[in-house]
Amino acid sequence: MKTSKKLRSMLLTGTAALLLMSTVACGSGEKDAAEPEKVTLNIMHPWTSPNVDNEVYKERIAEFEKQHPDIIIKQDGVAATEYKTKLRTLAAANNLSDINVVWPGADLAPLVAGDLLMPLDGLMDNWKDILPEDALAGFNQNDSQFAVPTKQTFVDIIYYNKEMFAKVGYDQFPATYEEFIDAVKKLKEAGITPISLGNKEKWPLQSSFLSIIGDRYVGSDFLQKILNKEAKFTDPEYVKAIAVIDELAKLEAFNTDANNMDSVQGQDYFIQGKAAMHISSSTVDGRIRINNEEGDKFGIALFPSVPGGSGDPVKSAGVVQYGIAIKKGLSDEKKAAAEEFIKFFVNEDLYKDLISKGVVVPANVEIPEDASPYLKEMLELTNKGTAPVFDSVIPTQVTDVMQNGLQALTIGRGTPEELAQEVQEAFDSMK
């Protein structure tokens, strides 16, 4: 009898344990079923430098993950100097990230031709009230939209030290090329480095200098004529534009370590009062003036008119850039997550955040009354027409040849005529 009771007790205990385990298991299953599976999206971007807009972009990504705990954004930050090369390499292998930062025009075309990007036409109503057609045009191919832009960049802003220019007799920035060269010579005589240049990455001379100098000489339709084979880089007027870099190098206008200094170091060199000028993008105004206690001592200007030039001397070289694009062929889950991301990331809040940091945007959003007066000055300077940026029009393979050649000119290698010929040959050899 005792044994029977003991056995019955053991059986009851075992049954209870099994029921408990079953209940726990069922509960666990219900919990797992309630939790959605997380989706991971890879994004490749060039937001690695300390520019103010880069911080805004990364903050937006963090906020998206906070509001969308079921979506993980895995970032692949690539230095700006290496970004386009890596993008091109991944594209050739059909191995793009799920979301990519892309450039308009010549850089976007091969990605579209390779059927690598997802058309965004079904999403464009999200931006119909804030993005004008001209802001979207560079990312539109074959009547389809393939990316949404984040900012408007003017690459050719001349930041200058008012005190240094006043010291050599210029209370206003030079209005002509002759006056500009005169100021360069007088600054040298006064023991002041005329132009701070960080050209280690090679793009500054091509993008910030040649884009606008070329436009001053040959006008804003010349680069498109190159693509249409109606003009050549060897045309005499364009060679004159290249020769400006050569002349500045021979006048020792740049700091001696220009090719060993990157673009951010070039900015710092100027901010620290070691040079009278720095030519760079409107985005760096945040570092040079807006967030700088000594910002008032710096002015902004555009490259002056040139003798016999057919370009408009009040234009600034600008591009709508950092387009956000989605890879074609994603799974349904990833596609839905990527669409959710792009709608969140590029919206009115992003544009307002950028404006608050002094960054020019391509969107029709209200500029707050308390916006930095420096931003208002930048908008006034750049609202008189836009010239094309060299590397937003000319294919990367040709741009690389130009960049290498311009850097060589600064150390006395080659001539403007030889460089023009090399660049034209590179263009002619493209498939």
Tell me what percent of the residues of the chain surpass a pLDDT of 90.
Answer: 85
For the sheet with 99-102, list strands across it: 71-77, 39-45, 99-102, 323-326
Residue where the block lists tokens 């960054």:
359
Rounded Cα distance, 398 and 418, in Å: 15
The pLDDT tens digits for 277-295 are 999 999 999 999 999 999 9
Tell me the pLDDT band of 3, cut-offs 50, 70 and 90. Answer: very low
| Burial (CB count within 10 angstroms: exposed 0-12, middle 13-18, buried 19+), residue 347 | middle
The predicted pLDDT at position 80 comes to 87
Average pLDDT over residues 367-379: 88
**Looking at the predicted structure, is the pLDDT value of residue 27 above 90?**
no
Rounded Cα distance, 304 and 216, in Å: 8
Average pLDDT over residues 19-36: 50
Tell me the pLDDT band of 421, cut-offs 50, 70 and 90. Answer: very high
Stated pTM of the model: 0.84
Rounded Cα distance, 390 and 295, in Å: 29
User: What's the Rg (C-alpha) of the chain?
Assistant: 28
Average pLDDT over residues 325-340: 98
> Helix (H, G, I), strand (E, B), or coil: what is residue 402?
helix
Q: Which two tokens stand for residue 202?
A: 């090679």
User: What phi, psi does 58 have (nearest 5°)?
Assistant: -70, -35
Q: Annotate 306-356 with DSSP letters as a single string.
A: -TT--S-TT-EEEEEE-EEEEBTT--HHHHHHHHHHHHHHSSHHHHHHHHH
Rounded Cα distance, 358 and 189, in Å: 35
